[in-house]
Amino acid sequence: MSTVPVEPPLRVRGLRKAFGGLRVTDDVSFDLAAGIVTTLVGPNGAGKTTLFNQITGELAPDGGSIALHGQALLGLAPWQVARRGVARSFQDLRLFGQMTAHDNLLTAMEPATGLWQPGGAARQERRERVAQLLEATGLAAQAQARAVDLSYAQRKFLSLARVMASRARLWLLDEPASGLDRGSYERFVALVRGAVRGGVTVCMIEHNLDIVADLSDRVLFLDRGRLLAEGTPQAVMGDPALAAIYFGERAA
């Protein structure tokens, strides 16, 4: 009995972007598979964040295609990409600093739950959802604290909670675990793994190779805008030529 191939949640083909003579994305093609954590690795300036920017509509590529569940994303504004189920965190977090943790989550729920629609039942559902997310990320006691007053680790978890609040099925996380203590890191891993088991597709940018090896199921290695390799963390980072590029000892 034959089986029908499963369409990957995200498919990127021939993506190209240049600023003058500098190619920041050079004919990049890959799929993001469901049920695993994929991590983008590579030296500084490899094009990892630029790639995220193109997927989310913040930067228009010069050519190629991006499809989410078979539907084209190119040409859509960032808010339109978000409404199709793509959520992103940033290395600089981009929280609403003067808002409470509670209200930061409410704003993230707007695309998915109709935040501004009236109705007591809807408001109660949102309150319950926010409470669940604050509890899951260890922020229940900081619900009414301003984001700017939270510790670094707490702000990292608030950023992740905002992604979770959106109910997006594709998460793009830019160095989400950097700077976390061991206990916080273990909480982060549990949240990501739980989301993946629930059907969320996760792609991360990460520079810490211990985190890459610990959390990634698959690695994409970028350098100078090109995708040089993909595979397991052990296979990719165990390649001497790629390791030399990563640590600035390139021969290519």
The phi, psi pair for 241, rounded to 5°, reads -65, -40
Q: Predicted confidence band at 19 (pLDDT cuts at 50, 70, 90)? A: very high
Query: Could you give the CA distance from residue 108 to residue 100 in angstroms, rounded to a whole number?
Result: 13
Its pTM stands at 0.90
**Which tens digits make up the pLDDT trace of 28-76?**
999 999 989 999 999 999 999 999 999 999 999 999 999 999 999 999 9
Buried b / exposed e along 180-207 (16+ C-beta atoms within 10 A) = beeebbebbbebbeebbeeebbbbbbbe
Token pair belonging to 114: 């109709």
Looking at domain 10-85+168-246, its CATH class is alpha beta
pLDDT at 113 exceeding the cut of 50: no
Residues above pLDDT 70, as percent of the chain: 92
**Which tens digits make up the pLDDT trace of 169-202?**
999 999 999 889 999 999 999 999 999 999 999 9
Query: Could you give the CA distance from residue 180 to residue 34 in angstroms, rounded to a whole number?
Result: 26
